């Protein structure tokens, strides 16, 4: 069983998948930082000095000023600003993956249709026979050329 597991792990697909997951996780962190630290502050400034990471609804109704204050008080909050940032993170990562897949498909070139099979159908018994055959090996009928 250990030998089979080693063969499974050493296949190229599993290693490629593992590398893809690690790179994807690192890329996700970079995109999250980009959105939270570079993209959202100017957007918040343009929208009237809004800090998206501090947009929330205090579900207790006590009116806490910040998420940190509400969490310190143990109050439930609905953090829609953080959710908006996560949604933007997802859109950027999804678009980047789309671009990578699109480029990979272009590098692969156009997909060619498979070659036509070297067989034809017998008009009497509908079995597959070689194209150059004059008689069907199944029903022994003469096949027109």
Distances from the Cα of 39 to the Cα of 26, 43, 73, 93, angstroms: 18, 7, 30, 14
Reported residue count of the chain is: 145
Q: Are 71 and 41 in contact (CB under 8 A)?
A: no
Residues 58-116 pLDDT 10s: 888 888 888 888 888 888 888 888 888 888 888 888 888 888 888 888 887 777 778 87
pLDDT value of residue 136:
92
Q: Are 122 and 129 in contact (CB under 8 A)?
A: yes
The percentage of residues in the chain with a pLDDT greater than 70, rounded to a whole number, is 98
Q: What is the mean pLDDT of the chain?
A: 84
């Amino acid at each position: 069983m250990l030998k089979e597991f080693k063969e499974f792990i050493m296949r190229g697909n599993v290693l490629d998948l593992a590398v893809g997951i690690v790179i994807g996780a690192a890329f996700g962190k970079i995109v999250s930082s980009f959105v939270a630290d570079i993209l959202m502050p100017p957007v918040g400034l343009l929208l009237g000095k809004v800090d998206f990471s501090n947009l929330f609804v205090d579900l207790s109704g006590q009116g806490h000023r910040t998420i940190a204050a509400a969490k310190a008080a143990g109050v439930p909050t609905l953090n829609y600003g953080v959710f908006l940032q996560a949604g933007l993170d997802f859109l950027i990562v999804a678009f980047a993956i789309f671009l990578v897949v699109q480029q990979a498909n272009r590098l692969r070139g156009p997909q060619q249709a498979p070659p036509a099979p070297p067989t034809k159908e017998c008009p009497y018994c509908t079995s597959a026979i070689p194209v150059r055959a004059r008689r069907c090996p199944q029903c022994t009928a003469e096949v027109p050329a």
